Amino acid sequence: MGRFVVWTSEIDSRLPRRYGREVPRNLAVESPKIGEVVEAAEALKMRIVKIERDRLNPRLAGLDENLRSYGRLIVESKYSKSKSLRLIAQKIREFRKSRGRSKRKRK
């Protein structure tokens, strides 16, 4: 099992790769929240070692406040970091899609 840090900015579609986005833009999600990342990692059976909600990726220090995404977590996963990030982003997309449907049904 590998242990690594997951920053919310690594899966944020609003950011270019030079500011820390690790996954392809078509797989990334817009403005991921740390709660969504935690929920996705837990659903994928990754072990969460530590959650830090107020941490900012150092690469984002010079960006406008509206592009900054706070939070990081340390996880243990049986997958590589890049594969884990892709799976987390995919799971967040699934969660958002299912929640979007349930909101429409209620109206």
Q: Which domains occur in the chain, in start order?
A: 2-106 (3.30.56.30)
In which residue are the tokens 């969504």 written? Answer: 36
Bridge partners, 73 (sequence order): 6, 51
The pTM assigned to this predicted structure is 0.88
The pLDDT score that the predictor gives to residue 26 is: 95
Q: What is the pLDDT of residues 55-95, one digit of tens each?
A: 998 888 888 888 888 999 999 999 999 999 999 999 999 99
Higher pLDDT: 45 or 62? It is 45
Closest CA to 9 of 38, 35, 39, 29: 29
The pLDDT score that the predictor gives to residue 103 is: 56
Confidence band for 8, pLDDT divided at 50, 70 and 90: very high
Residues 6+ apart with CB under 8 A from 19: 9, 59, 60, 63, 67
